[in-house]
Amino acid sequence: MPLVVTGTVGIDTIHTPSANVEGVAGGSAAYFAAAASMLGPVRLVAAVGGDWPDEHRRVLTGFPNVCAKGLEVRPGSRTFAWGGRYFDNLNRRETLFTELGVLEEAPPPVPAEYADSRYVFLANTHPAVQRQLLAGFPNRALAVADTMDLWINVARKDLLALFEELDGVILNDEEATLLTEIPNAVSAARAIVEMGPNFVVVKKGEHGAVLVHSEGVATVPAFPAQLDRVVDPTGAGDTFAGGMMAHIAKSDRTDFETLQSALAWGTVMASHTIEAFGLDGIRAIDDGDLNTRLEEFRRAARIA
């Protein structure tokens, strides 16, 4: 069933201890769409400026299942740009710069032909914008949103208004604690469920993820990769969400068991993302790679 993602398509500059890359394709919606496309079709709603490189378009539309009709190009505007630097252990990073560009303008319009979208993911952007975009999908079966520390700090009221309209929220452990002041993933997620959504997924990076749902709790470790396989963690969270939502859309089910399986698909997707810079990790996925890695993950995480 149709899956759509709204969010940012941007130009990234990434410094890691081993290498630097400049001007690569990035943005929350781009990462999400690339990952989701590995499991099925995905529609993309985002805006870029006139400076958006042709090469980035080729990268993005090179993922056969990505529909980019909802990608608006604004010739007189600038594309969102982000630069970040990872520290030695690749777990922590600092933002070097953020150029909002089109993100300071009106959100992109949702194409009329996307109105039948059933599964909706609102990748990270201002919660008031996310809420506005959500209204473009009246036939949705499930709506999930990501957020970030900035909006928790400066737009909490908008965020809480958004939460009341969502089925699910996905955020990382630091954000969950910032939002609730509770330093425990399960307890924090439980408190967020009280704010409206039916479920909350807390991403814990190299420590996996937790799902707190009205029908139960699920927990998943990260794929047990060695550090020498981690090249660039950028987009791990967005591709986790992409794998998760694409599995849900493909299953066309929203029950607890489907969400639990979706955590594993998200984990496998993120494990590919971090093995190369930018979208290259997802691009490198071949037929059978995902099933092979899911099987490997099942073996490693099996409880007999």
Q: What backbone torsions phi and psi does residue 212 show, to the nearest 5 degrees? A: -110, 120
Asked whether position 261 contacts a copy of itself by CB under 8 A, the answer is yes
Distance, CA of 220 to CA of 298 (rounded, Å): 10
Contact track, a copy of itself, 188-207, x by CB under 8 A: --x-------------x-xx
Question: In the complex with a copy of itself, which residue's Cβ is closer, 61 or 291?
Answer: 291
Judged by CB under 8 A, the stretch of 51-59, 122-130, 131-139, 224-232 that binds a copy of itself is: 224-232
Burial 52-88 (b: 16+ CB within 10 A, else e): beeebbebbeebebbbbebbbebeebbbbbbbbebee
Judged by CB under 8 A, the stretch of 35-43, 106-114, 223-231, 273-281 that binds a copy of itself is: 223-231
Residue 182 beta carbon to a copy of itself: minimum distance, rounded to whole angstroms = 6
Asked whether position 230 contacts a copy of itself by CB under 8 A, the answer is yes
Structure tokens at 99: 């150029």
Write down the H helix ranges in 37-124: 54-61
Distances (CA, A) of 21 to 18, 78, 84, 126, 192: 10, 20, 10, 27, 37
3-state secondary structure of 304: coil
Residue 275 beta carbon to a copy of itself: minimum distance, rounded to whole angstroms = 14
Asked whether position 214 contacts a copy of itself by CB under 8 A, the answer is no
Write down the H helix ranges in 234-274: 236-251, 256-273
Question: In the complex with a copy of itself, which residue's Cβ is closer, 5 or 231?
Answer: 231
Question: In the complex with a copy of itself, which residue's Cβ is closer, 136 or 266?
Answer: 266
Judged by CB under 8 A, the stretch of 62-70, 95-103, 158-166, 215-223 that binds a copy of itself is: 215-223
Residues that bind a copy of itself (CB under 8 A): 88-89, 91, 182-187, 190, 204, 206-208, 210, 216-222, 224-228, 230, 257, 260-261, 264, 297-304
